Amino acid sequence: MALTAVVDTRFILTLEFPPNQEAKEKTRNLFEKELKQGLILPTIVITEFIEIAGARIGEAAAKNRFRLLKERGMEVESIDEERGIAAGILLLSHRNIPIADALISGIVTTGLAEYVLTDDPHYKTLNVKTKWIS
C-alpha cells in the first residue's frame, strides 16, 4: 500500500478535539478515507500532540489516544537523515517557518507522501500540497 498523506498536528487535534459536530463528522470521514490510502504519522506530530493534548486531558489520556490512532493503522515515521536535510534546505529560504512544519514537509518533498492533511498556511509558503476537511 502506497502511503499518500502525512498528518499535521492540526489535523490530529481537530480529529481528537473537534470544535463542533460538523467538523467532527468531516474530520472523521477524511481520516477514514485517508487511512485506507495509507497515512503517515511523523514522530514530531506525536511530540506536539502529547504536549498540547496532555495539557488538556493529561499525559496518560494523551498517550492512550495516540496509541489508539496507531492501532487504527497510521504508520509512524521517524525523521531520518534524508528528511532532516530536506527540512533544513526548506528552512534556508523560509526562516520564519516552524521547524516542525519543515520536518513534516520533508516527508512530502522526499516523496514518501503526496500531501499534508492540514489547513496550516505555512505549508503553502513551502509550496507543499495540502488537503483539509471540506
Grid cell at residue 36 = 485506507
Question: pLDDT value at position 10?
Answer: 96
pLDDT band at 134 (very low <50, low <70, confident <90, very high): confident
Comparing CA positions, the residue from 13, 65, 74 lying closest to residue 43 is 74
Q: Which residues pair with 24 in a beta bridge?
A: none
**pLDDT tens digits, 102-133:** 999 999 999 999 999 999 999 999 999 999 99
Whole-model pTM over 0.85: yes
For residues 26-52, average pLDDT: 95
Q: What is the mean pLDDT of residues 83-103?
A: 94
pLDDT at 1: 37
Mean pLDDT of 55-79: 94
Residue type, 116: V
User: Which domains are delineated in the chain?
Assistant: 5-131 (3.40.50.1010)
Q: Which of these, 90, 114, 107, lies nearest to 42 by C-alpha position?
A: 107
